[in-house]
Structure 1
Amino acid sequence: MPELPEVEAARRALEAHCVGRRITRCAVADDSKVVVAAAGRVAFERAMVGRTIVAARRRGKNLWLRLDAPPFPSFQFGMAGAIYIKGVAVTKYKRSAVNSEDEWPSKYSKFFVELDDGLEFSFTDKRRFARVRLFDDPETVPPISELGPDALFEPMSVDNFVDSLSRKKIGIKALLLDQSFISGIGNWIADEVLYQSKIHPLQIASSLTRESCEALHQSIQEVSLTLHCFE
C-alpha cells in the first residue's frame, strides 16, 4: 500500500519533470469507481488540455496538480495507486521507470497526460481503490480538507503533540493511523516509530508518559526526515 514516502516521491518527480510544461493530451479511464467526474470523462479530459502545470502538491497520501487555472486533478492513492513517468525512475528503492518493452500506458492507467515537450506520465491503479477527482480548490473539500497536519510538512510542536495524546483514549497505533490526527502515517511507518520509541501499539494514547510522548514525537520526525533519500 502506498504510504507517505511513495506519494512524496511521486510529488517530487512530478515537480522536477513536469512543472512549467503544458498539457497537450489527456486520457481519463472509463472507470467510474476510480475516476470521479461529475461532468463526465470527456469534460475532465478537456479541462486538462492546454493547461500548464505550475506545482505538484501533497498532504498525507493525497496528491494534486496545481494548474495555471482551475479545476485541478487530485489523486488519492488507495491500496495500489502509483505515478509513472515514461523514462524516469520515480523512486530510488523501487523500479518505476518505463522502458520500451513495457506496455505504455498501462492497461491499469486511470489518468494519462502528454506534455508539450513530449514527456508522458500516468496515474495507475491495479486494485481500483484509488480515486481521481477534479476540484476547483482541493484543499478546501474532502478528502484533503479532513486531513490532519502532514507528518513531513506540518509537524506538531512537542507540547501540542503531548497535549493531543493526553486527550485520546484510543490505542496509540490506531491513533497514528487516523489520517485526521496526523496525515501520511501508514502501517509500516507507525510500526517503525512505535518500535523506536519502545511503545506497545495497543497502549492507550492518554496513558503515555510525557517522556514516551516526546520519544514518539522525535521518532516521527526522524523517520519523516529519512524521506529526503527519495529526492
Structure 2
Amino acid sequence: MPELPDVEFYRRYLESTSLHKNIVDTEVREPSLVEGASVQEFRQSLKHKRMTDTARHGKYLLINLDGQLWMVMHFGMTGALCYYRQGDPEPARTKVRFTFDTGYHLAFTSIRNLGRMSLITSPQDFIRARQLGPDALSQKLDFPLFYRSLSRKKGMIKPALMDQSTIAGIGNIYSDEILFQAGINPARHLECLREDQLRNIFMVMKKVLKTAIRFQADPSLFPDTCLLPRRESGGRCPRCGSELKTRKISGRTSFFCPRCQPEPARASSGKNSGDSTVRAC
C-alpha cells in the first residue's frame, strides 16, 4: 500500500506535470473510486478547473482546484499516477483519466480498485472527519506530542506507529524499516519502552521517511543499510547477515532481524511462579 513517502512522490510528480492546466474532461472507468458524489457530479465539478496547488496529509494527496474545491486522492493498495501525451500508449489499468487542454492526460491507475477520490471544501475539516493524527513529517509533530500520543496507547509498538489516528502516514512497510533502524522488535510493548527509546524511534522515523522520499520511495535505490530492499522471504539483515524472521502483528506480516531486534522477554505479571499471565517486554 502506498505510504507517506509514496504519496509525497506522487504529490511532487503531479506538481511537476499537471498544475495550471485546464481540465477539459474526466473519464471515470471505475465508479466505485468516487466517494461523496455521483460520477456525473464529480466530472462536472472538475470540468474547466485547474489543479493549482497540492498538499499531503499522511497517505492522502490533496489537490486544490482554482482556489475553490479540493480533490482528495487515496491510493489504496496499488494506486499510482502517470502523465502521458495524447497518442502515446495508455497506462495499463487506468481507472480515472484527466484530460488537459494541452493534449496530455493524467491517469490514476490501480490493479485493485481500493483507491478513493472525493471533492471537499476544507482540508482541515476532512482531516478532523477522518480522525487523522498529525502527519508524520509535520513540524507540528515534535517529540513531546509524539510521546504524549503514544503514552495514551497500549499494546505493541508496531500497530501504534501504524494507527492513522495517532500518526498519519506510516503503514506496514515503513514501520518495519523504522523499527529496524531503531533496533526495536515490532512486538515490544509500549509500556516497556523507555523515554530515550521512544525519542530514538521518533528521530529515526523522521530520518527514514525523508530518506525514502529522497530516493523516490523506490526501495531498490535505498542505501545498503536499509531493510526494505531485503524485506522478503529468505532476506538477510543488512547489518549482521542473519536471516530475517516474520511475525503476524495485528494481522500484518512484520519482518525483523532476530539478532539486531531481539524478541521481547516473556515476564510473569504475578508474584507467584504459578501465575500463567505473561506479557512481552
Q: Please give the TM-score of this superposition, normalised by the length of structure 2.
A: 0.70
**Shift of residue 211, structure 1, vs aligned partner:** 1.4
The residue number in structure 2 matching 1:67 is 65
Higher Rg of the two aligned structures: 2
**Shift of residue 10, structure 1, vs aligned partner:** 0.6
**Shift of residue 229, structure 1, vs aligned partner:** 3.2
Question: What are the within-5 Å matches in structure 2 for residues 165-176 of structure 1?
Answer: 165-176=150-161
The residue number in structure 1 matching 2:107 is 122
- Distance in 1, matches of 2:127 and 2:145, equals 24
The yes-or-no answer on 1:134 pairing with 2:133 is no
The residue number in structure 1 matching 2:186 is 201
Q: Please give the TM-score of this superposition, normalised by the length of structure 1.
A: 0.84
- Distance in 2, matches of 1:30 and 1:188, equals 27
Counterpart contact for 2:157–2:187, Cα < 8 Å: yes
**Shift of residue 136, structure 1, vs aligned partner:** 2.3
The structure-2 alpha-carbon separation of the partners of 1:175 and 1:70, relative to structure 1 and needing over 3 Å to count, comes to same
- Distance in 1, matches of 2:132 and 2:167, equals 7
The residue number in structure 1 matching 2:273 is none
RMSD over aligned Cα atoms: 2.3
Amino acid at match of 2:39: R
The residue number in structure 2 matching 1:92 is none
The structure-2 alpha-carbon separation of the partners of 1:164 and 1:136, relative to structure 1 and needing over 3 Å to count, comes to closer
Equivalenced residues, count: 216
Deviations 1:166-185 (A, max 9, x none): 23212100000101111111
The residue number in structure 2 matching 1:94 is none
**Shift of residue 163, structure 1, vs aligned partner:** 2.8
The residue number in structure 2 matching 1:20 is 20
The yes-or-no answer on 1:158 pairing with 2:143 is yes
Unaligned runs of 5+ in 1: 88-97
Question: What are the within-5 Å matches in structure 2 for residues 26-105 of structure 1?
Answer: 26-31=26-31, 33-38=32-37, 40-86=38-84, 100=88, 102=89, 104=90
SS of the residue aligned with 2:19? coil
The residue number in structure 2 matching 1:10 is 10
The residue number in structure 2 matching 1:183 is 168
The residue number in structure 2 matching 1:111 is 96
- Distance in 2, matches of 1:99 and 1:60, equals 35
Q: Report which structure shows greater RCO (CA 8 Å, sep ≥6).
A: 1
**Shift of residue 204, structure 1, vs aligned partner:** 1.4
Q: Percent identity?
A: 32
Amino acid at match of 1:166: S
- Distance in 2, matches of 1:179 and 1:154, equals 17
- Distance in 2, matches of 1:48 and 1:76, equals 17
Deviates more, 1:190-199 or 1:164-173: 164-173
